[in-house]
Structure 1
């Protein structure tokens, strides 16, 4: 099994304690030499400034290649591109361009009257600058807004790649075959950009199920049965085993890079990376 490249997702801290957790997580994972790390952008743009601060700190203090999440939510085109300009001035060269979720209390996503109407418009505007690597989201299972159509998700991803994106990061999933089917569908649609599988090390089974329900990820019965049998005392060991097994299957199927959703908790991600031969030197043990 070839040692994979890895990347990690963080979220911006909202208070001092959360700041310490983020920096501790970055400090623990930085020696694994990630290809990049990404920093999320709160629903409705609620963490806009916090995201910018976290992105620049991770870049300046930890020497990490940081991809800043950016959405179309609750901002005009001029305001959004001002954020892009700020990243450029700070030396950031990667952006994860997303439509974004509806602000809290809003039933569905609506474009700002003077904003970008879709992630495609955002991607086109960033790509026109010519100085950013643009990553986008991808959905191996139907996006909640796609009407249950995987074909629609693949077609929309093709439009995002054609608009200037250079790679995609998937939503998390439980079964490797879910990713492989999606990858095959993308190839059949003419998508040749790298598609990185998003991996969620399960820090909390209850939290993972809630997250799955919100983003359209199906929860297989085998996982339900396994966590029920393990109980609270066996949850951590089971989560590590399940995550490492999923990653091995992906690597055996030709995947070369894994993107971990860390939830700003390094231990489980670090353990799984070590299980895969990703060590602090970046080389297989």
Structure 2
């Protein structure tokens, strides 16, 4: 399908071992020729240097890199300085997020919402950056209502976003409904499904509790029944996520964005099953 693209997400390593592991993961995934690799940014910018180091290294290796940039707890001056560092490094792609307030930080900062960050990036840098924003097919856990969440998404796009990546989900109908709803509100940008491979039951449930992603009861129960049998969890997870991706691709989604958790195995296995 024309213009369909695939991307991977990493988080910045905090140790020398983590850096080496990430390089190995990248070496395994690079032959899949992703359109870009994104790198997350900790609450309140706590991993700012790690994010910068990672994206510059990815870019030097000839793969487009897209740093995440979260604005809660940040000043305009600090965001301006980060944007300049990315421009100096030849980075042309940013994932713009509100982000979470780090524990112990009392000040929200000069930005309250992601649409304000998108607006600021556009005002400061014009069309230099391709800006992606987050979308929540099952609604943001802090949204006052589904309609409130849709309106927030529309605001981010109208502020100047080029495209969106969704929070991961396992119910394709939630994604299709979300896209229909925002199209009805006049949003036409590509909305790329975020895909979370399943390799660890307790980790998945913990992540999902935090971010408001629903793990269908039948999936959770099957995973729980495997106990510590990691091989069975991995095999079942591959079946579930591959079937989800097949349905999304058959419906003509613009691409897939894989949350790799800095590991190559599950993402590569899904990729091979999809014959991409």
Over the aligned positions, Cα root-mean-square deviation in angstroms equals: 1.7
* Contact 1:71-1:97 at 8 Å conserved across structures: yes
1:65 aligns with 2:64: yes
Alpha-carbon offset, residue 65 of structure 1? 0.6
Query: Hey, what does 1:12 align to over in structure 2?
Result: 12
CA offsets, 1:187-214, max 9 Å, x none? 1111100001000001211101100000
Query: Hey, what does 2:137 align to over in structure 1?
Result: 140
Look up the SS of the partner of 2:256 in the other structure: strand
Alpha-carbon offset, residue 2 of structure 1? 9.1
Alpha-carbon offset, residue 93 of structure 1? 0.3
Task: Indicate how the Cα distance of structure 1 residues 3 and 169 shifts in structure 2: closer, same or farther if over 3 A, else same.
Answer: closer
CA offsets, 1:162-217, max 9 Å, x none? 11000001101111111111111111111100001000001211101100000111
* Contact 2:190-2:254 at 8 Å conserved across structures: no
Alpha-carbon offset, residue 105 of structure 1? 3.8
Query: Hey, what does 1:239 align to over in structure 2?
Result: 237
Look up the SS of the partner of 1:232 in the other structure: coil
1:209 aligns with 2:205: yes
- Listed as ranges, the matches of 1:166-181 within 5 Å are 166-181=162-177
Look up the SS of the partner of 2:95 in the other structure: strand
Alpha-carbon offset, residue 125 of structure 1? 1.5
Distance 2:136 2:227 in 1: 30
Look up the SS of the partner of 2:228 in the other structure: helix
Query: Hey, what does 1:165 align to over in structure 2?
Result: 161
Distance 2:72 2:51 in 1: 14
Query: Hey, what does 1:185 align to over in structure 2?
Result: 181
1:119 aligns with 2:114: yes
CA offsets, 1:89-118, max 9 Å, x none? 100000111111010245xx8521xx2232
TM-score by length of structure 2 reads: 0.94
- Listed as ranges, the matches of 1:213-232 within 5 Å are 213-232=209-228
Equivalent pairs counted in the alignment come to 272
Distance 1:202 1:57 in 2: 28
Distance 1:22 1:98 in 2: 23
Alpha-carbon offset, residue 238 of structure 1? 0.7
1:252 aligns with 2:250: yes
* Contact 2:9-2:259 at 8 Å conserved across structures: yes
Alpha-carbon offset, residue 150 of structure 1? 1.9
Query: Hey, what does 2:273 align to over in structure 1?
Result: 275
1:81 aligns with 2:76: no
* Contact 2:96-2:131 at 8 Å conserved across structures: yes
Does 30-39 or 217-226 show the bigger shift?
217-226
Distance 1:124 1:71 in 2: 13
Distance 2:199 2:233 in 1: 9
Distance 2:43 2:87 in 1: 23
Q: Which consecutive unaligned segments of at least 5 residues does structure 2 have? A: none
Query: Hey, what does 2:96 align to over in structure 1?
Result: 97
Query: Hey, what does 2:48 align to over in structure 1?
Result: 48
Query: Hey, what does 2:262 align to over in structure 1?
Result: 264
* Contact 2:134-2:165 at 8 Å conserved across structures: yes
Distance 2:26 2:5 in 1: 17
Distance 2:20 2:166 in 1: 28
Higher relative contact order (CA 8 A, sep 6+): 1
Alpha-carbon offset, residue 4 of structure 1? 5.2
